[in-house]
Structure 1
């Protein structure tokens, strides 16, 4: 609990608490998950990846697959992040988790200077503006950002606009980005 309370304000302190819990309950999936997430927020990518893998092995829960793939990117291994999209659980993931995974995998493609492949990742991932799902705002925002990088400004404006409409929690600055491009 202490790790969860501190994770947003003091990630290093949260990680200390999580490590202490791991010392007492290393075989508990929730403890390993908490340690992995605290390590992720503290920028300890290798530890985060190791802990989240352990949590998944113990529980079978794939819900942090996007975070794990992002750790691979942070460790300079974008090609490993790409493999996450091939995991057999991907079609069964909750929409918000799947959206995050698509964002990470497309980001890995951009890390590899494969902008066209990044755009294709988004396009295969579900860009239906008539049927927004949890995570759609962030997904559409990331797609719009990739469109800007590709020089497709008019399309980017439309997707930033769609992201702004779907962004009920103000997670993005999509409206501002669209306005800046006009």
Structure 2
């Protein structure tokens, strides 16, 4: 996840930009001004690739956008609604920057604004050509009650170029869409495409195997579910899941 050209319109003078930037940084927003940038939201904290994209903006605009992106990243887990406000502020000055649209889309996703998230991530893909967030986009389609559109994402030619982790995430979402449609056997078949070699786990395997075990449990295949929850727990070196607890509860 990355957190990181102003929209077309009349050019702004340097004095105006300075006033706008200083009025929002580390101060309380007043009526008619944008959300304040926290004093600790230093644009230098951004990933170098994002800072590089912001060089298409003026220095002050890049500082403004960068500050809001950092703030969004800092808040996305604890206060996603506030994070989205910061991301939207960044988009207001940097709508032509792919990293800005990506950050706004991811913030919207975390805030449960599915339609906005989908729109922003589509825009990011158009700008950059990067489809690494395709699983998030598919999950937005599910959340919007359109599981059949999530299924079609698996047919996208870019899927062949995804790394193992990104592809695993997409398979998990597509399997979830199948379950939404009451197609449990089809969901299991989708997850099996991600690789079930317990001797050679890859990035994303723990979450994929967890989803597989969960579907097996729903199908009443308890012993198989215990096996795959166990495999997921062993592969889950970052402790992202409760696979061990799920396995124990089925014993």
TM-score range, shorter chain: over 0.9
Greater percentage in helix: 1
In structure 1, the residue matched to 2:144 is 75
Match in the other structure for 2:201: 132
Where structure 2 has 5 or more consecutive residues not aligned to the other structure, the ranges are: 1-69
Q: Which runs of no fewer than 5 residues in structure 1 stay unpaired?
A: none
**Cα distance in 2 between the residues matched to 1:181 and 1:91:** 36
1:115 aligns with 2:148: no
Match of 2:117 among 45, 48, 52: 48
Structure of higher CA gyration radius: 2
Residue 10, structure 1, aligned to residue 79, structure 2: yes
Q: Displacement, 1:23?
A: 0.6
CA deviation profile, 1:81-139 (whole Å, cap 9, x unmatched) = 00111111112111111111000000000000000100110112212212101110000
TM-score (norm 1): 0.99
Aligned to 1:95: 164
Deviation beyond 4 Å, 4+ runs, structure 1: none
- The yes-or-no answer on 1:174 pairing with 2:243 is yes
Q: Which residue of 1 aligns with 2:97?
A: 28
1:33-88 deviation line (CA, Å, top 9, x unaligned): 00000000000000000000000010000110000000000000000000111111
3-state DSSP of counterpart to 1:168 = coil
Equivalent residue, structure 2, for 1:153: 222
Residue deviations 1:21-42, cap 9 Å, x none? 1010111000000000000000
Q: Could you tell which deviates more after superposition, 70-79 or 125-134?
A: 125-134
C-alpha distance in 1 between matches for 2:193 and 2:208:
12
How many residues align? The count is: 182
Give the Cα–Cα distance (whole angstroms) in 1 for the partners of residues 198 and 160 of structure 2: 19
Structure 1 position 140, deviation (Å): 0.1
